[in-house]
Chains A and B, each alone.
Chain A
Amino acid sequence: MVKRNIKTSLSEDDGEVLNENGKRLAEEANKENKKRVRTKNLYRQPTANELNRLQETENLFNSNLFRLQVDEILEEVKLTEKTIKRFTEWYNSFKVYLMSIVEDDLEFDLSEKKITKFLKVKLPILEQLSQTKAMFKFHKFKDIDIVGSYAVGSTINANLMVDVQITVPAETYTKNDSINYRYHKKRAAYLAYIASHLQKSDLIDELHYCLFNMSLTKPVLIVKPKGKLSNTLLVRLNLACDDEAYKLHRFSPKRNNLRETWLLQSEKQECSAVGPQTPYYNCSVLSDLTAKINNDFIATTLSNSQNLKQAIILLKIWLKQRKLCVSGHIINMLVCCLVQIKRINNIMSSYQIVRNIWIYLKSSEWDTKGLSLSKSKDAPPMDEFLESFPVVFLDKTGYYNICWQMCKGTYNALRRESELAVEMLDNPKLNSFLQLFMVPVSNLTQFDHIIRFKNIQSLKSSVLERVSKENKLNYGLDELPLVVNSIYSLLSKGLTDRVDLILQLGEADFSWPVKKTLEKAKEGYDEKVSFGLVLNPANAIKIVDKGPQANLPEAEEFRLFWGDKSELRRFADGSHIEACVWDGDTFAQRRSISTQIVDYLMELKYSVQPRDIFHICNQLDSLTARKMAAAEQGEEVSVKVLRVFDELRRDMRALTQLPLEISAVYGTSSVFSYSNPLPPLPSIPDPRAWRKASTCLIKTQKDDKRIFLPSYTEANRAMIELSYSGKWPGDIEAFRCLKAAFHLQISDRIKSQYSLASQAYPTHIDVNKNGLSFRLEIFHPKEVTLLRREVVDGVVKFKESEESVKLQRDTMLLAILRGALHGLHQKHPAFGPTACLFKRWLSSHLLSPTHFPSTLAELVTASVFLQPEPLTPPTQPTVGLFRVLQLLLNTDWATQMIVLDFNGDMTREEITELEQKFSDRSENGPQMCIVTSYDGELPSVWSSSAPSRQVVLRAQALAKATLSYIEKALMEDMSDNILAAFIPSYSGYDVLIHLHANLVPHFNERIDSRPKLNASDDVMGDVIPVLEFNPVEKYLEELQGAYEDFALFFHDSFGGDVIAVLWKPHVKDYRDFQIASANALKPVKVKGETKYEVNIEAIIEDFKLIGDGLVKEVVVNM
C-alpha cells in the first residue's frame, strides 16, 4: 500500500520535474555557455523523484525509449478536448431529440409493405424475410446510452465510431418471436422506426444502415453528425434488447430456434418437433440480450483504471496495424477477464499489461478449451460450445459466445501475432516499439500466397450444395460465413503443415442509405472471398504428402479425402504409405505447390474450376528464368555454376609445386549467392575464332562490314588466399609484380596438372572448366595495408585512401559478405530469387549498378529476410520483391539506418555506437546507410559512393508507383500479368541514345523476348571464350568519365538498347571562363558581351563519335 502511494504521488511530481527540465533546456539554447550548464545539470544532486522514475523505467518498462514512445503514441491517438466538447454538445441535443420520439398505437403487419410507406424508409432486412408474419408495434425505449470504447475512455482517434445503444423494451417482442428470424425482423422494423424519426432531425448529415461484422441479420444505424464533428467520428446506433424479454436458456447452444421447415421450405413433417441445434442463430439473439450485462461489467472493471485503458488503446493500435478483425469489444472483454483471473491489474504499467496479454494470448486455447467469464453453475457446459463454435469466449452470463462470428483463422492469426509480438519485445537488438505499433502491414506483403475466388455466386451455390443440412440450418441466412468456414476447414486439412497460417481476408462493413432496400444496394457491390496463406518455409516445398500406412483404417479416410491423387507408394525406408505426389521439378515449382493443392482440392470437393481461382504468389517467376537456357530458372543455373566452382576449388587447393600453397578460394560473384539475375551459362567458343595463348580474340573487320561479336560471357570471380608468408615485399608495385608472378605460376600449374584452359594476367587468372569461365585473383591483406601506408614526419601512419577502401571492399569484404549471403540463401531459399527480382526491377527502371550498386541491392533484400519484423521472412520471391520495395519506400533514409547482423554477433553497444555515429554524420555521407556486421572500420562501405540522394528519391518514387500498380492489378483487377511494372518510361529524359541491338549483351534476356533452346550442354573448353567484353559498358564508362559534369546516363544493364541522358540542372546557364572549368564551353555573344556556355550540340556530337559502331541513332528530346 505504502509503495503504491509513493508511486502515485511521484508520478504527479514527475510532470513538474520534466517541465522544469524542458524550460531550462529551452533557455539554455540561447546561452553561449551551454555546455558548462549542461554538465552542471548532469551532475546535480538527484531528487528522490528522479531516482524513482529512473528505477521505475528500469523495472516496469522495456526501456527508457519504449516508455517515452508509449507516452508519445498515447498522446497522439488521444481525442482532442475540442472534439470531446463538440461531441458532448451534439450528443446532448441528439439525445433530447431521440427521446422526443412519440409512441403511437399503430400496429403493423410486417409481411405487408404498409410500414415502409408509413415510415418513408426501407427495412434493413433480407428479401427472404419479407414474407415472415409478425405484428409490430412501437414501444418507446426508456433510455439511450453511450457504450463501448468511448464510454470506457479507450478510444483511438482514427475512424472513431461512438457506440450508442438503445435498449428495446421487452414488450416489443412476443414469446414466440425468438424463432425463425421474427425477432430480427422486428428489430429491423424498430431500427427503421428510429431511422424514420432521425431523418427529420437537423442534427444529422447522413444516415446509413450498416451490416455489423457482415452479419446479414444484425443491421445498425450509422449516423453522420452535422458539421465538423463528422470529420473525426461517426455514431453507430445499435439496438440491444431488454434482458427480461427472454430467458437465456432458450438460447443455449443445444437448442433449436430455426425450424427446418421454415428455412429449407421442406414439406416433410416427419421430423420431430425439435430440430438440430442452432448455436450460431442463437448467438445472434443473445448478443442483444446480454449486451447490457456485459457493458456494465466492462464499465465497472475498467472505471478508474488508467493503465488498463492505456493498455487497451495500445492493443487496439496493434490490432489495427496488423489488420486483424478483432473488435474492440472482444479486447475489452478479454482485458476484463484477465483482470478477473488476476493475470493483470491496474498497478502494472501499460507496457506490462500489454505484454502479459500477449503472453496469455500466445498460449491461450480458445479453440480447444475455451474461456469463460461466467461463474454460475447453471450455464451450459463448455463442451457444448466447443462442439458448435470454432472459437469460444463466453461472456458474463455464460450463454453468449462473444467470438461467435470469429473464424478460426482470425484466432490463429491473433495467437501467432501475439507470439511474434512477445518475441519482438524480447529481442534486445530491436527497437520493437516501431515494429509493433507504428508499422502497418498490407495483405500483399503479409502473405506468401493469396487465394481469391473469382465467381462468388457460383462458389457460394456449389459450396452450399455440399454442406450438411445441420450446418446450413445453424448459419441460417448468413451464407457467407458458412462458405468461408467450409473452405477454411478444407484448406487447413489439405495444406496441413505446409502453412503457418490461413486467414480469410476481411472486407469493410457494408453500409447503404436508409432509403434503399438491401437488395438494391447490393447490386454493383460484389462480395469478395479471399484467403491469405503464410507458408512454412521448411514444409511448403515438400513434394510428397505422406498419409497413413496402407493397412491402417485411417488410410481409407486419407484416400477418401484426396481422391485419385492418393497413391500407394513404397518409400526408401521400406514403408508402404498412402501419399500424394505433386509436381516439383524446379525450386520455383516446389515453392508453389500450395497452388496445385488448392486448385486440386477445390475442383475435387466443390467442383470449382482452377480458372475461377486467382492465386497471388508466383507472378514474377518468369523474370528469374534464364531465357537463353530454355527458360530454366536462375536458381538451377546457379546451382550448376556452384557445383563446378566447388570442384575447381578442390582442384586449386590440390595444386602442387607452388612456392606458397593455396589455402582457400572464395567466390565473390553474385552467382555464388544465387543473386545474379542472369547466371553465366556454359559457353561454346567459336571454333573459327582467332586465338592468342589460351584465349579467344575478337575479330576485327578491316572494311566497314558489320562486326560480329561473340555472345557475352560473364566470368565468375573468386579470390585466392595463399598460405602465410612474411616475404611479400613492402613496396606496392613490387608487391603487385610478385602477385603477377604468382598468377603466372598458378596458371601454368592449372594447365599442366588438370589440363584446363587457363590464362594469366597481371591482375588475375582466367580458368575454363566445363565451359564455365572463372576469374581468380590473389588477395593478400598486405596489399590493403600498403595502400593505406603514409609517411608523416618519418612516422608510418595508416590512413584509408580511396584506393585502399575500394580494394578492401571488392576483395576481402565482398568474399566474406558473399559467404554470408550464400548462407542466408540456404536458410531462406527465397533470398536469391528475390534479390534477382529486385536487381532486375532497378535495372529495368534504368537504375543500373553505377547508380544503385548491385551489392547494395542485395543488402536491402537481405534486410527483408534478416529483419522481417513485424512479419516473418517471405518464402515467395514475388512477395519478397513487394517487401523490398516497401522497405525502400517506407524507410526514411535520411534519418534511419539499417544494421545487418548476419550471425547475431553484434552487441547492443556496438549497434548503439553505430547509431550514434550515424546521427552525428556529416551531410555528404552515404545516402542509404546499411551497415553489415563485417564492415568493421568502414561502416556502410557498400553505399559509400552511390546512390546519390536524387537516385534514392527516384527509386522511392518508382517503388511507390510500382506497388500501387501491382496492388491494383493483383488485388482489384486480378490480372496475372504484372510485367508492366518492369517497363521503363523514357519520357522526361533529354537525349536518348539508341544502340545497335545485336551488339547489346543480354539482348535476348529482355522481359519481352521469348525463351530459346540451349544449343548444347556438353562443351569441352580447351580455350577460354571472350570474357566480359561489354561494349555498352565501355561506352557508358567513357561517357560517364568525360561528361559526368554535364549529364547523367541511365541504362538497363540487362539488355537495354537505349541509353537515356539527363542534363544536370543549370547546364544551360552562362558560366565563367576558368582554366580548371573550361571544359566543353563555347563563347556566345550576348548583347555585345562575350559569355560562355556549355557546348551541348558538340557534346551530343561527341556521343556519336565515342560510340562509333555501337550507336544507331541519337535522339534529342526538345
Chain B
Amino acid sequence: MKSAHNKTQYRALELHFIKDSPHPHVIYFKEHLVREHTADKPSGRTLFVVNIPPYVDEQCMIKAFRKAGDIQSVQFSIKPNSTISQNSEIFLKEKCTPNFKLCYLVFKTVIGLDNALKLTELQPINCDSHLTLGLKKWINEYNSTILKPSELKDSIERFMEEYDKKTKQEMEKEKQMQEEDDEGWVTVTKRGNIQSFPRTEKVENKIMAKEEKSKKKKELKNFYTFQIRESKMKHIVSLRQKFEEDKKKIAQLKQSRRFKPF
C-alpha cells in the first residue's frame, strides 16, 4: 500500500484563501493517470485536483502550486474526463453558476508534477486580492452585459458569416453525395433532384396511421351477429370497468378517511 501511495492515493492539503484563513477547504490531488492521454492532458505532467471551491479561478490554482513549478494550463471541469467546451459555434454562452469543481493542472515540466506531489502546504490563493467576489463581481457582471449596438452587430455578423460558411460546406458535401459512387449507389438527400420525404417521427406516424385506416376500411361492421354481440358486450365491459374504477377511487378516498364528515 505504502509504495502505491504516490501513484493512486490522493494527497490532501488545505487551500487557504488568504494567509491563515481560519477554516480552509481541503483539496485532494494525484497524478492524472488514464489509459489514453489526450494532447491537452499529457501523461506525466498533469495533476488531477478535486474539491476546488466555487470561487477559485485559474490564477488561484497557479498561485497555489507556485512552489512546485511553472504551470502550462489549467482546465476546470464539473465532472471528470470532460472539459468545459469552448465551442465557437455556440452563439449564446450558457452562464453557469459557480460550483465545486475539479481541475487538470498541466505543468511545464515533469519535475513540476513531482514537486507538486511532494508539497506539504499550498500557497494562499488570494494574497494579492486579484479575485473580485460578491457585490463587486456582480456589478462588473452587470456592467459587462451591456453592449453597444455596434458591438452586438459585429458579433452577430461574425457568427452568421461562419454559419453561412458551414452550411455552404454541408450543401456541397450533400451535393457530392448525390453523385454516383464507385459502385453506382446514389445517396438521396434533402436538396437533391430525387423526390424524398423527410425522415421524422411525425411522418412515420402518419404513414402508420394511414395503413391502419385502410385496413379498417376493408372491415365490415355490424354485419355478423357475433359482431353485434361483441359490441354489446363491450358496452357492458366498459360500464363494469367504470364501476371498478369508481370502486377503486372510493377505496382510495376511504383510505384517506375522507368519509368522516365531522
Smallest CB gap from A734: residue in B? B163
Task: Pick the residue among B25, B98, B133, B252 that contacts A1080 (CB under 8 A).
Answer: B25
Task: Pick the residue among B50, B155, B233, B261 that contacts A73 (CB under 8 A).
Answer: B261
Q: Are A72 and B259 in contact (CB under 8 A)?
A: yes
List residues of A (1007-1028) whose CB comes within 8 Å of B's CBs.
1026
Residues of A within 8 A of B141 (CB): 1034
Q: Taking A438-B258, A438-B261 as contacts, is the C-beta distance between A1101 and B23 under 8 angstroms?
A: yes
Residues of A within 8 A of B20 (CB): none
Q: Taking A73-B259, A733-B89, A734-B160 as contacts, is the C-beta distance between A1082 and B50 under 8 angstroms?
A: no
Q: Taking A73-B261, A1078-B51, A1108-B133 as contacts, is the C-beta distance between A761 and B139 under 8 angstroms?
A: no
Residues of A within 8 A of B38 (CB): none
Residues of A within 8 A of B80 (CB): 1075-1076
Smallest CB gap from A751: residue in B? B149
In the complex, how many angstroms separate the beta carbon of A1090 from the nearest chain B beta carbon?
A: 9
| The stretch of A789-797, A959-967, A1058-1066 that contacts the partner chain | A789-797
Residues of A within 8 A of B97 (CB): 1037-1038, 1040-1042
Instruction: Give the interface size class of chain A.
Output: 35 or more
Q: Any chain A CB within 8 A of the CB of B184?
A: no
Q: Taking A1038-B98, A1105-B17 as contacts, is the C-beta distance between A320 and B261 under 8 angstroms?
A: yes
Residues of A within 8 A of B24 (CB): 1098, 1101
Task: Pick the residue among B135, B163, B242 that contacts A733 (CB under 8 A).
Answer: B163
Q: Are B23 and A1098 in contact (CB under 8 A)?
A: yes
In the complex, how many angstroms separate the beta carbon of B182 from the nearest chain A beta carbon?
A: 23
Q: Any chain A CB within 8 A of the CB of B216?
A: no
Q: Any chain A CB within 8 A of the CB of B140?
A: yes
| The stretch of A225-233, A234-242, A665-673, A694-702 that contacts the partner chain | A694-702
| The stretch of B67-75, B116-124, B197-205, B217-225 that contacts the partner chain | B197-205
Chain A window 713-749, contacts with chain B (Cβ cutoff 8 Å), 1 for yes, 0 for no: 0000000000000000101011011101100100110
Chain B window 54-92, contacts with chain A (Cβ cutoff 8 Å), 1 for yes, 0 for no: 110000000000000000000000011000000001111
Q: Any chain A CB within 8 A of the CB of B136?
A: yes
Q: Are B149 and A748 in contact (CB under 8 A)?
A: yes
Q: Are B163 and A737 in contact (CB under 8 A)?
A: yes
Q: Any chain A CB within 8 A of the CB of B172?
A: no
Chain B window 233-257, contacts with chain A (Cβ cutoff 8 Å), 1 for yes, 0 for no: 1001101111100110110111010
Q: Taking A43-B233, A747-B149 as contacts, is the C-beta distance between A796 and B53 under 8 angstroms?
A: no
Smallest CB gap from A1082: residue in B? B26
Q: Are B261 and A731 in contact (CB under 8 A)?
A: no
Q: Are B243 and A64 in contact (CB under 8 A)?
A: yes
Taken together as a complex, chains A and B put the C-alpha atoms of A1079 and B79 apart, in Å, by 12
Taken together as a complex, chains A and B put the C-alpha atoms of A999 and B138 apart, in Å, by 13
Q: Taking A42-B240, A158-B261 as contacts, is the C-beta distance between A700 and B136 under 8 angstroms?
A: yes
Residues of B within 8 A of A919 (CB): 252
Residues of B within 8 A of A1042 (CB): 54, 97-100
Taken together as a complex, chains A and B put the C-alpha atoms of A737 and B152 apart, in Å, by 10
Q: Any chain A CB within 8 A of the CB of B147?
A: yes
Task: Pick the residue among A65, A76, A1082, A1106 that contacts B261 (CB under 8 A).
Answer: A76
Q: Taking A999-B135, A1031-B138, A1106-B133 as contacts, is the C-beta distance between A1083 and B12 under 8 angstroms?
A: yes
Smallest CB gap from B260: residue in A? A76
Q: Any chain A CB within 8 A of the CB of B214?
A: no
Task: Pick the residue among A65, A76, A692 that contacts B246 (CB under 8 A).
Answer: A65
Q: Are A1110 and B135 in contact (CB under 8 A)?
A: yes
Taken together as a complex, chains A and B put the C-alpha atoms of A919 and B248 apart, in Å, by 11
Chain A window 1093-1117, contacts with chain B (Cβ cutoff 8 Å), 1 for yes, 0 for no: 0010110111001111111000000
Q: Are A693 and B148 in contact (CB under 8 A)?
A: yes
Residues of A within 8 A of B138 (CB): 1029, 1031, 1034-1035
Task: Pick the residue among B50, B100, B139, B250 that contacts A69 (CB under 8 A).
Answer: B250
Give the top 6 A-B pairs by smallest Cβ distance, nearest first: A1108-B134, A1041-B97, A1109-B135, A1097-B23, A1079-B100, A158-B262
- 29 CB-based A-B contacts, threshold 8 Å: A46-B236, A63-B246, A72-B253, A321-B261, A438-B259, A692-B146, A693-B148, A693-B149, A737-B160, A744-B153, A748-B149, A761-B147, A762-B155, A795-B201, A1026-B142, A1035-B134, A1035-B138, A1041-B54, A1075-B102, A1078-B51, A1079-B100, A1083-B26, A1098-B25, A1105-B17, A1106-B54, A1108-B134, A1108-B136, A1109-B134, A1109-B136
